[in-house]
Amino acid sequence: MNLAEFIDARREKHLTELKEFLRIPSVSAKSEHKPDVERAAKWVADNLRAAGFKSAEIIPTAMHPLVYAESLEAPGKPTILFYGHYDVQPAEPLDLWTSPAFEPEARNGNLYGRGTADDKGQVHIHLKALQALHESNGKFGINIKVLIEGEEEVGSVSLWDFVQKNKEKLKADALVVSDTSMLGKGVPSITYGLRGLNYYQIELTGPERDLHSGVYGGAVPNPLTVLAELFAKLHDNNFHITVPGFYEKVAKLSKAERKALNALPWNKKAFQTAVGAPGYCGEKGFSIVEQLWTRPTLELNGIWGGYIGEGAKTVIPSKAYAKFSTRLVPNQDPRKIAVQVEKHIRKLLPKTVKCKFEVLSTGKPWAAPFQAPIFKKAQTALEKGFGKKAVFIREGGSIPFVTQMYDTFKVPCVLIGFGLPDENAHAPDEHIYLENYFSGIKAIAHFYADLAIL
């Protein structure tokens, strides 16, 4: 019996076990679920031992425990650090779930339940792949470190603290993460690029106090209008961002990469159906895929000021606020961009308002050298698991952990996602396509097995 057959023979067993994992409501954001979070950590540790790890630690933290296991019995073979998380998003609003969030149910080829896609289902794929390898060979064949956290949905503070204090312990030749999505159904995908994220907030103050718009209107600065005028100036008619120097360091895509990205089976119609806008717009000179994955953006995320209740209030407010963010691409430097953005905004603003400018966070973009051997091995393993050619994709979002790990260890990060873009990761009726779950176990088992072949 080969590895794939070995795994296929255990489909029911795997599914039953995953459902057990999913039934634990390990909602990290809610203090009433603290016992559940701890139960989930114990479940993961137990499962790691069942998978063939001699021991698995539950590491207490200031908030939720980390689970860590390692097997370093393959001298001369690569060492892989696998990262995942066992905590989940809150399930609310509960009444929008077709079946209860923590009572997993298979329907229409999907498994529904909180954590199916994000990230318990994907963690379980790795646990079962490792177990299959160990059971069929008596060993993993590579050196493997597994780090599963319980705070991913609430900011990963304890994780990051642990990583900083255990750099030697966590050292590896590559980081493997399964917490992303495939390009689409039947398209196994490796994500090799993420955008960075700077998040800003500004507060504009015009008059010292709210004023009556009748008594004062016409002769005083209105900070709401100034805010509108400011943000109208941050893009030109081609949707280019007007901040001087903003694009200066942007890495130009090679012709080959650009061609490859545009040749992907990316479905524009499905994208537009998902968005449902009356029309579309984006930076001139780039395809939508390029706009989403390879071009930086500046987006307003929230604006407020003045009277926002029901009916009418004739006020000229003292203050106007905006939250906005820049998505960054290689090789933009987040700190430098933050300085450029602030400088440009201060230059654009009239002297009639004061401006408080805050950078709430900065985050680097990331792109992996996907021509490196480990990426080719991942691609081959995915083809073995899915029977379909795997593609290299980028994502428009940001995963701070990946860029931080890359900065810390300077090793390749291989992002192999088994979710699908429409699986409601943070919404009601979260699900995972079961064939992706089953094929994922086979693919990951092949991946780890192939890494043993130098």
Cα–Cα distances in Å, from 92 out to 22, 189, 285, 422? 16, 30, 41, 18
Residues in region 169-208 near its own copies by CB under 8 A: 195, 197, 199, 205-208
What span, in angstroms and rounded, lies between the C-alpha atoms of 128 and 122? 10
For the bound state, the minimum distance from the C-beta of residue 137 to its own copies, rounded and expressed in Å, comes to 39
Cβ closest to its own copies, residue 138 vs residue 279? 279
Q: Which residue number, 276 or 369, has a Cβ lying nearer to its own copies? A: 276
Instruction: Say if CB 296 and CB 326 are below 8 A apart.
Output: yes
- Report, in Å, the least distance between residue 184 CB and its own copies: 14
Rounded Cα distance, 277 and 260, in Å: 27
Query: Which of 66/322 has CB closer to its own copies?
Result: 322
The nearer residue to its own copies, 75 or 214, going by C-beta atoms, is: 214
Q: Which is nearer to its own copies, 186 or 207 (CB)?
A: 207
| CA 194 – CA 414 distance, rounded (Å) | 12
Residue 259 CA to residue 280 CA, distance in Å, equals: 23
- Cβ within 8 Å of residue 292, ≥6 positions away: 396
Could you give the CA distance from residue 283 to residue 367 in angstroms, rounded to a whole number? 21
Give least dist CB 328 to its own copies, A: 11
Q: Within 21-60, which residues bind its own copies (CB under 8 A)? A: none
The one among 30, 235, 258, 336 contacting its own copies by CB under 8 A = 235
Q: Are 27 and 36 in contact (CB under 8 A)?
A: yes
As measured in angstroms, the least distance from the Cβ of 313 to its own copies is 6
Using CB atoms within 10 Å of the CB of residue 203, give its burial: 0 to 12 exposed, 13 to 18 middle, 19+ buried: middle
Cβ 423 to its own copies, closest distance in Å?
A: 13
Q: Does 215 bind its own copies (CB under 8 A)?
A: yes
251 binds its own copies (CB under 8 A): no
Long-range contacts of 270-279 (CB under 8 A, 24+ apart): 270/184, 274/421, 274/422
Distance CA 286, CA 288 (A): 6
The amino acid at residue 82 is: F
In whole angstroms, the minimum distance from the beta carbon of 81 to its own copies comes to 24
Instruction: List alpha helices for 387-433, DSSP H.
Output: 400-409
Bridge partners of 147? 68, 83
Question: Binders of its own copies among 138-157, rule CB under 8 A?
Answer: none
Binders of its own copies among 301-360, rule CB under 8 A?
A: 301-308, 311-317, 320-321, 323, 325, 327, 350-354, 360
- Shortest spacing between CB 286 and its own copies, in angstroms: 8
What does the DSSP assignment read for 317-333?
-SEEEEEEEEEE-TT--
Q: C-beta of 201: minimal distance to its own copies in Å? A: 8
Of the residues 76, 138, 214, 265, which one makes contact with its own copies according to CB under 8 A: 214
* CB of 283 vs its own copies, minimal distance in Å: 7
How far is 454 from 377, CA to CA, in rounded Å?
Answer: 11
Q: Round the CA-based radius of gyration of the chain to a whole number and report it.
A: 24
Give the nearer residue to its own copies in terms of CB position, either 312 or 453: 312
Binding mask 258-287 for its own copies (x = CB under 8 A): -------------x---xxxxxxxxx----
Residue with smaller CB distance to its own copies, 98 or 280: 280
3-state secondary structure of 386: helix
Binding residues among 386-405 for its own copies as defined by CB under 8 A: 395-398
- Nearest approach, Cβ of 299 to its own copies (angstroms)? 5
Nearer to its own copies, 140 or 246 (CB): 246
Out of 66, 142, 170, 292, the only residue in the binding site for its own copies (CB under 8 A) is: 292
Stretch that binds its own copies, among 2-10, 40-48, 60-68, 220-228 (CB under 8 A): 220-228
- Closest contact distance (angstroms) between CB of 225 and its own copies is 5
Q: Does 453 bind its own copies (CB under 8 A)?
A: no
Cα 407 from Cα 175, distance rounded (Å) = 12
Please give the Cα distance from 195 to 267 (Å, whole number). 21
Residue closer to its own copies (CB basis): 122 or 362: 362
Q: Is the CB of 265 or the CB of 276 nearer to its own copies?
A: 276
Length reported for the chain: 454
CA pair distance 365, 420, nearest whole angstrom:
23
Interacting positions 364-383 with its own copies (CB under 8 A)? none
| Count of residues engaged in binding its own copies, rule: CB under 8 A | 79
d(CA 417, CA 176): 10
Nearer to its own copies, 37 or 230 (CB): 230
Helix (H, G, I), strand (E, B) or coil at 1: coil
For its own copies, the binding residues in 402-441 under the rule CB under 8 A are: 421
